[in-house]
A and B are shown apart, each in its own frame.
Chain A
């Protein structure tokens, strides 16, 4: 009795792995399908242009969408950081209520907030000349951390 129950236990241990894989595959396919439902702000054509420029080759549209959504998330995160910086600066200045409400309606993306937010992601904004500003993306973030 013990031996058979042990065998059954082992058999059951193997099966959940395989079934678990099927579930994972199905979940992944569902995730990719949900990607197609969502229309990213960055249009597919633009993403494909930049991908092709850098040597990325893929006939699958879902992966293009994935990259578009990932980039949108990245930019949204940076913008959210900058927004929080902006709001933090506004709340630090104590003025009467009316003025503060007026300022809250006009949140402007400034260079200052943006550079602080980008600093979190290891991107430096460098002022080259009086007129031109250039942003440099550190290609190898691991190296920069050292």
Chain B
């Protein structure tokens, strides 16, 4: 088994591809490997330097989030070695007169677009799925904390394909899976099985399509589960108010 490439290899490879594309757009048709690696390393460090200067500038102004002023200051600091046409940004004037932005505008205007060669799989970003406030309405929990992981009555976290106890796993993965589990619940209602459960009705017709993450929807009923678990499935009646006769309570067990 080959060892898995580390995260830094992934970003370094992507940087190398991007830098190769840029040098191709400038006019090069080939490059030495060492030269390409060096230029990619320079690009990565430049990005890091811009970020560090911008973050430092924001922090010195008492902010945690950087804005466009911080970026312009950072770019000017990094560009001051080579020099740039025109005057640097003065705080009294509007930013549009900043020469850095003018140079970038000129670059945008005159250069053709060269989009990146291959699509990159986007990581699930927990920041996007994080909701403000707690869904369970726990008032003692401050709102800026991330959501509680979704846990069903048996103390096992609902998972994508396999079970796992709460003790293991990384926080990022838990958030991912809790997000998936929430989506799996459909309405995300109630994390614990209520005492009195309604009868579960199923229709075997194949109405509705497949959801992206491998779940089937049968007339409004979402079924999802791990191994050997009982699932609360809620069915709601069809639009015309018809409901199947012959109710049955169904226990879904999957075995491997």
Stretch of B31-39, B140-148, B180-188, B235-243 contacting A (4+ beta carbons < 8 Å):
B31-39
Q: Assuming the A-B contacts A46-B18, A55-B51, A79-B22, are A111 and B122 also in contact, with contact meaning beta carbons closer than 8 angstroms in the complex?
A: no
The answer to whether B11 and A46 have CB atoms under 8 Å apart is yes
Inter-chain CA distance A43–B19, complex, in Å, is: 11
Whether A57 pairs with B11 at a CB distance below 8 angstroms is no
B43 lies within 8 A of A42 (CB): yes
A46 touches B14 (CB 8 A): yes
Nearest-neighbor residue (CB-CB) of B63 within chain A = A57
Q: A41-B114, A145-B81 are in contact. Are A79 and B39 (CB under 8 A)?
A: yes
Chain A contacts for B115, CB-based, 8 A: 39, 41
Q: Which residue of chain A lies nearest to B116 when distances are taken between CB atoms in the complex?
A: A43
Contact assessment for B104 and A54 in the assembled complex, using a CB-CB cutoff below 8 Å: no
Q: Which of A35, A80, A106, A137 contacts B46 (CB 8 A)?
A: A137
**At the interface, is chain A mostly helix, strand, loop or mixed?**
helix
B22 to A57, Cβ gap below 8 A?
no
**Contact of B120 with A69 in the complex, beta carbons under 8 Å:** no
Residues of B within 8 A of A60 (CB): 67
Q: How large is the interface on A (under 10, 10 to 19, 20 to 34, 35 or more residues)?
A: 35 or more
Interface flags for A92-132 (1: CB within 8 Å of B; 0: not) read: 00000000000001111111011000101111010000000
Q: B115-155 toward A: CB 8 Å interface, digit per residue (1/0)?
A: 11000101100000000000000000000000000000000
Please give, as numbers and ranges, the residues of chain B lying within 8 Å of A121 by CB-CB distance.
81-82
- B39 near A114 with CB under 8 A, answer yes
**B-contact 0/1 string along A51-68, CB 8 Å cutoff:** 101111111100100110
- From 41 to 68 in chain B, residues with beta carbon under 8 angstroms from any chain A beta carbon are 41-52, 54-55, 64-68
- C-alpha spacing A34/B12, complex, angstroms: 28
User: What residues of A have a CB within 8 angstroms of the CB of B116 in the complex?
Assistant: 39, 41-43
A67-B51, A109-B31 given; 9 more Cβ-contact pairs under 8 Å: A45-B120, A47-B47, A49-B11, A54-B51, A54-B52, A76-B111, A78-B39, A109-B23, A142-B80
Show the binding face of B for A, using Cβ within 8 Å: 11, 14-15, 18-19, 21-23, 25-32, 34-39, 41-52, 54-55, 64-68, 71, 75, 77-78, 80-82, 93-97, 100-101, 103-105, 107-108, 111, 113-116, 120, 122-123
**26 examples of A-B residue contacts, CB within 8 angstroms:** A24-B97, A41-B116, A50-B48, A53-B51, A55-B51, A56-B51, A57-B65, A70-B104, A75-B22, A75-B39, A75-B46, A76-B107, A77-B82, A79-B28, A80-B27, A108-B31, A109-B28, A111-B32, A111-B35, A118-B42, A122-B81, A125-B38, A135-B45, A139-B49, A141-B80, A141-B81
